Every structure is written in structure tokens, then in C-alpha cells.
Structure 1
Amino acid sequence: MTHHSSHGTGTRGAGSGSAPDTPRLTTREAAGRLGVKPETVYAYVSRGQLTSRRAPGGRGSTFDAAEVDALARRTGRRDPSPSAPGELVFRTGITLIEPDRYFFRGVDAAELARLHTFEEVAEWIWTGELRPGIRFEAAPEALAAARRTAAALPRHSSSTDRLRAAVAAAAAADPLRFDLSPQGVLNSARTLLPTLVGALPSAGEASSTVPSAGEASSTVPSASSPGGEADAGDSLARRLWPKLSDRPADAASLAVLDTALGLLADHDLAASTLAARVAASTHAHPYAVVSAGLGALEGPLHGAASGAAHRMLSEAVGRGGAAPVVAEHLRAGRRVPGLGHRLYTGEDPRAGVLFALLDEIPQAAPAMAAARDVVATTARHTPLHANVDLALAALSVTCGMPAEAGETVFAVSRTAGWIAHAMEEYAERPLRMRPSGQYTGPRPPQPLPSPSRAAPPGTGPAK
């Protein structure tokens, strides 16, 4: 399959580069082509989905016919539902989500992730170019700093804790981190991803020892030879595998992990991506952008959701069926994890791809049977479909990975998307995200507060 960099215009103004003699439409004509009211046309303008120009003589507005037609084609599939006046709009050419599928720069994302490595998918969403066989390598000094910092955390620290520490250390080791030119950001991104993977301890490895300051990057274990030197030819999926599982990586299971990384690389303006764009709007460097994304990702309703699905699926496998597990969730008033997605009317397309790959792996049969039983059992109560968290859980349960493995995969993968959105945001007007708060406190003027009569800290009651 060959893709070309002509994809990727996304929803950016389709008529911005049109020739001067391109026919222009009146507001009423544009509304007719779109099948909406004239007021809705102006809502599209306020949202950034259409560009308008004052008509000669200043009476009314005109619109580029090609841009209107392009919007009509898009709204024929999914109505953008124009925003309310004043709502902030993010024009993006990275991901388009439809009711049953999604696209990276105009290309079917599920197909792209299934046929190409995570690194190739990352390059595609960053640059709109497909580079077969590309590999990313960490800068030795940054990798050593990231490993030392991540290893210094307490043993109970999560993988996301270690990733956040690794990002901060890698930033401190990169004197060029403030270079926000497209090439500068790409250079940082291509080294940051393998740094994050390399900073994680191997599965089951105790983090009680901290590498010395002069320890070389050769101490980084690789997926192909645990404990040995990293192989520059290894994919990021292969390097990540031993961080998630102490079982050998067979080709089929490794392909599922690599595909999962590609599928999760971006998903439009999820909460963590919005946080990343807010950081980028201040012209924070790419490492700070990724740190912002990681902070939002750790919420139990976002990246950490797959952990709950893993625990539920493990219990269902152990108990020989999903019915008692689902019943306990419903009786406790808890939602059943791994089901439903607000953007898809049916099954999450990311889950569909991963389930199809897992069906080809014999040892995945128990987890897959439990996953399908969860869906079928819950359907008797409410018609919900599987989402990607359930698919990640099926992968992690099958391969003997810990419950947080899905979150780790999510964090490493979505770093690519955060970088792509940062590159877009750097090209926008800086500091454009300044909403106004709706104050609900006491109305001023209020009297100055009286000094507290509380006992000083550490003072106990009189004996």
C-alpha cells in the first residue's frame, strides 16, 4: 500500500490556497449547498470550518465554492454541529473520527496501523510522509539521565510515574529543547520515544539500584536480548515488550503490540491531547507538552481505564465466565469497564482490529472468550460495544502483563500524537486559550478575614 503526502489537509481551510478567479458564493448560496440555514453558515465561520470574505461594497459575505463543497462532503458523513458563539476551535489535519472508523491524515487509521509499524505511523502523522523501515534512536546522554531518574523512584511507582520522570530528565539533558522549528521538534520527538521505552524497567525488575552518573547507555536492556545492548534495528514495540512481560515475544503477539501502538497514536482532542495543546499554546517545549499530556492521561477515566478492564477480564477468566463479574459491577453501581465509547455508534474500530489479531493467537482464546462474554452479558442489560480498553486488556491478560500495561502502551503511543498536535499549535496564534471563569464566590467587598485561632502546627491538646 502506498500513501502520498498529499493526504493531510484535514479540516484546514480548503479554499485558502485557491486561485483568485475561484467562484465565490453568497451566504444564501452557501447555505443552500450545505443544506443549512444562513445563521449556521456563520456558525461554521466562527468555528473555523469556513472562511468568509466581505462582498464588494461591504454588503454581506462571500464564500469559496470549493471550500463550501468540501465541507458539504464532510457533513454528509458527519455533521460538525457548529459551535456556540465564542467556543474555542482547534483546526487539525491529523485525525478525523466518523461514527464507525477514523483516519490519520485522510488514511484509514486501522488499516495503516495494521500494515505499518508504530514508527511509520508516527512519521505519517507528524509529516504526512510514509518512511518504510524507519527506526528511532535515543540520545545516549538523555537516555542515561532518564534511566537514572526513573530508577530512583520508589519501588511502588507506576510506569506512568517513571515516564513522567524520564521526560523531565530527557528535557534537562537536551539543550536544544527550545527549538520549536518543525525540524527541531521532529528531532526531539524521534529521540524522546525510544528514551521513554528505554527508561522503563524490565518486567518484574526491582528498581532499588540507581545507575551511576557515568553509566553508559549500553546498560539499557533490549527486547531481543534482555540485559544486553540495545539493537539499533529493533522496533519500539520489540523494545517495549520486555518492559511489559517476562515471557518471550512471539511474532504474532509482538504484531498485536505494534499494531496497538499505531492504533492509539492519536484520537483527535481527547483530554490529554487538549492538555498538550494548551501547553503548546504557551510555546512550551515538546518535553513539557508531553508532560502535560501524561498528567491528564493518568486519570482513571482516560489512559488508566484499561487497568480496570484488565482486572475484570482476569477475574472472568479465573471464574470461568463473565456473568458473576459483571453482576458484581452492576450491583455495586459501577460501570462495566471496557465497554462503550461516546464517539462510536458500534464497536470501537481499534478494538475490532486488535480482536481480529488476537483471534489468530491460540493462547489468547481464554481472554477472548471472556471478553466476548463480558460484551454479551452486559448486552442483556444495556447495548454497549467493546472499546479499545477491553482489547488492551485481552492482550495484557493473554501475555502475562500487569494491569497497568495498557496504560503504558497508551502513554508511549499517544506521545506521538501529542507531538503532532504541538507542531500544529506552534503554528497558531500563541496564548489563544484564555477562557474566562464564571465567578461563584462571595460578592465583594467582603471584610478582611480575622486571624485564625487554631493551635500552631504540631501543638497537641493540653494534658
Structure 2
Amino acid sequence: MTEPTEPELIPASDACALLGISPATLYAYVSRGQLSSRPGPDPRSRVYLRAEVERLAQRKRAGRGAERGAAQSLDRGLPVLETRISLIRPDAPYYRGRSAVAAARAGATLEDIARLLWECEEQDPFAVPPPPAWPERVAALALDTALPPLERTMACIPLLALEQRQSLNAAAPVRREVAATLLRQNAALLVGVQPDARPVHRLLADAWRPGDAGFAGLVRSALVLCADHELNVSAFAARVVASTGAHLHATVSAGLAALSGPRHGGATARAHALLLDAEASGA
């Protein structure tokens, strides 16, 4: 009986060469569970199973052909794209090369991160007047706190699109201003209040724990750290819809619909219910 041999491990540079990808994309494969990695010979390096890398490379080659562009974007149904927007590393998410953890520690708000992600440069889309009060056709739903937050938001955003005259304007400055207004409206819908010019973290914290500055800081940090997460399901769904030229309200609606699934954002509600059950049972 022969002794089992140790699996061959290769460094990141060899894995990238076999797959024809950049290190950033290699990390994306690992973060989505398509590849596994192990600590390398020094604390800052990682190594990969050659057999696993070669299987993935074979699947990538099989997917190429007439639909080469789509195959490079999707690998067996999982989105893997080069992106300059975000990178998930063990120490922190990075937004356009900047550490989200460092930004949160420095007091950045969600609006600051939006300006970075949207490449606003000198433009401040949040300097426009705050969103007006909810239109009559939306108000009854928007302020109904008996409705679940996500369902309330998904019901109202398509109606708000009817009030947005610039919804299909392709000019980047206009789209940023529409996005800024939509971000504020989305936050207000989630907690069932009127939209205003407060930073999003403050609007949410004031609805959940009025006057608690420490809690508001936690909400701010959480929003910064979750502002973008490469191509998770909801982000990918939103980007697919945006690629059709659909307006931003339709894009957000698609992302929220994907978020509602029990294997994505809906898992939060399940985890919360589990914690409530544990608390009630005294566990």
C-alpha cells in the first residue's frame, strides 16, 4: 500500500499565471469559495492547491468561445469581474485603493464613501437641496411603519421614479445627484420617516436610538464598511439592470429584490430571530 502524497501547493504568482488573471481577481475567487488558500512560507503569503487551480482553469477554458465576453464575466454562474471599485482583503475592504477600516476610524460617512466610489472629484452631489416630502401617492406607504422595512422600500421606489424628471439623463453629474437623492430616500424608507439632509447614519440612528451618539457612530462605521462588497448577489443584480440603461430607481429595485432572498440579506432576519429565541429561552 502506497503512502498518500502531499498535495502540490503553488504560490499566488503561479496560480495567477495558470488562470490568466490578476492577484485581485485571485483574491476574489478565494473570497467566493471557488478556490481555497493556505498560509505560505512567510506570514504575508498564501499558497494554493495546484489541482484546484487547474480544475478552475479548465472550466474557464471550456466556457470560452462565441460567448467569450460573457464567459469571462461569469464562471459557472458566479460573477467574477475585474473591478477598480472595491477589493476585499483579510485586513479590510478597500474602496478605489483606500482602506475602508481607516476611513471609518477617521470619521468618514457613507456620503464620503459614495463621493469616492462615484468619482465625484469637485462635485458634491449631496450639496443639492434635500429630497422633498413624500408625494401623496407614496406617503401612505412610506410612513406606514407597520410594513416590513424592505417591503416598504421596494413598494415605494418604483413610484418615486415617476417623480424623477432626470431619471434617464446619462450625464454623470446629473446621475450622481439623482443617486444622492435616492440614497437619502432609500434610508428614510427603511425607517419610515420623511427624507431630509441629515447624513444617512444620523437619520437611521435617530430613528432607532434618538440621542445616542455612540450608537450613531457604530451605524456610521457599519455603513462605511458595507458600502461596497465587490460582486455579491444584490450588487451584481443591480449592475446587470444598470447595464441595460435602466434608470437608477429600477437598478436599486433590482438590488433590493435580490437582497430580500433568505440566502442573502434575508439571512439577517433569520439570524436576528435565532438570537431572539435564544434570549427568550435564557440560553
Q: Would you say the 8 A contact 1:237–1:258 is kept in 2?
A: yes
Q: Would you say the 8 A contact 2:142–2:156 is kept in 1?
A: no
Aligned to 1:157: 147
CA 91–149 in structure 1, closer or farther in 2 if over 3 Å, else same? farther
Match of 2:14 among 24, 35, 57: 35
CA 171–44 in structure 1, closer or farther in 2 if over 3 Å, else same? same
Aligned to 1:88: 72
User: What stretches of structure 1 move > 4 A for 4+ residues in a row?
Assistant: 76-83, 128-132, 134-137
Aligned to 2:234: 272
Instruction: Tell me how far apart the structure 1 counterparts of residues 146 and 184 of structure 2 sit (CA, whole Å).
Output: 23
Match of 1:104 among 91, 95, 114: 95
1:237 and 2:228 aligned: no
Q: Would you say the 8 A contact 2:113–2:224 is kept in 1?
A: yes
SS in 2 for 1:84: helix
Q: Would you say the 8 A contact 1:138–1:195 is kept in 2?
A: no
Whichever residue aligns with residue 289 of structure 1, its letter is: T
* Superimposed CA distance per residue, residues 317-343 of structure 1 (whole angstroms, 9 cap, x where no aligned partner): 34443xxxxxxxxxxxxxxxxxxxxxx
Aligned to 1:249: 211
Q: How far has the Cα of 1:146 moved from its partner?
A: 7.3
SS in 1 for 2:21: helix
Q: How far has the Cα of 1:37 moved from its partner?
A: 9.0
Q: How far has the Cα of 1:253 moved from its partner?
A: 0.7
Whichever residue aligns with residue 237 of structure 1, its letter is: H
Instruction: Tell me how far apart the structure 1 counterparts of residues 120 and 177 of structure 2 sit (CA, whole Å).
Output: 16
Q: How far has the Cα of 1:91 moved from its partner?
A: 2.5
| Structure 2, unaligned runs of 5 or more | 1-11, 27-44, 65-70, 74-80
Instruction: Tell me how far apart the structure 2 counterparts of residues 101 and 221 of structure 1 sit (CA, whole Å).
Output: 34
SS in 2 for 1:283: coil
Aligned to 1:148: 139
Kindly, what percent of the aligned residue pairs are identical?
Answer: 31
Aligned to 1:183: 173
Aligned runs of 1:254-265 on 2, under 5 Å? 254-265=216-227
Aligned runs of 1:34-53 on 2, under 5 Å? 34-35=13-14, 40=18, 43-44=20-21
Aligned to 2:253: 291
So what's the TM-score if we normalise by structure 2? 0.68
Q: Would you say the 8 A contact 1:180–1:285 is kept in 2?
A: no
1:139 and 2:131 aligned: yes
Q: Would you say the 8 A contact 1:103–1:109 is kept in 2?
A: yes
CA 130–111 in structure 1, closer or farther in 2 if over 3 Å, else same? farther
Q: Would you say the 8 A contact 1:118–1:262 is kept in 2?
A: yes
| Structure 1, unaligned runs of 5 or more | 1-32, 50-75, 203-219, 223-229, 322-463
Bigger share in helix: 2
Whichever residue aligns with residue 282 of structure 1, its letter is: T
Q: Would you say the 8 A contact 1:146–1:170 is kept in 2?
A: no
CA RMSD between the two structures: 3.7
Q: How far has the Cα of 1:185 moved from its partner?
A: 1.7
Aligned to 1:458: none
Match of 2:156 among 166, 191, 197: 166
So what's the TM-score if we normalise by structure 1? 0.43
Q: Would you say the 8 A contact 1:93–1:105 is kept in 2?
A: yes
1:119 and 2:96 aligned: no
Instruction: Tell me how far apart the structure 2 counterparts of residues 304 and 144 of structure 1 sit (CA, whole Å).
Output: 29
Instruction: Tell me how far apart the structure 1 counterparts of residues 129 and 183 of structure 2 sit (CA, whole Å).
Output: 8
Q: What is the number of residues matched between the two proteins?
A: 231
Q: How far has the Cα of 1:285 moved from its partner?
A: 1.4
Aligned to 1:357: none
Q: Would you say the 8 A contact 1:123–1:129 is kept in 2?
A: yes
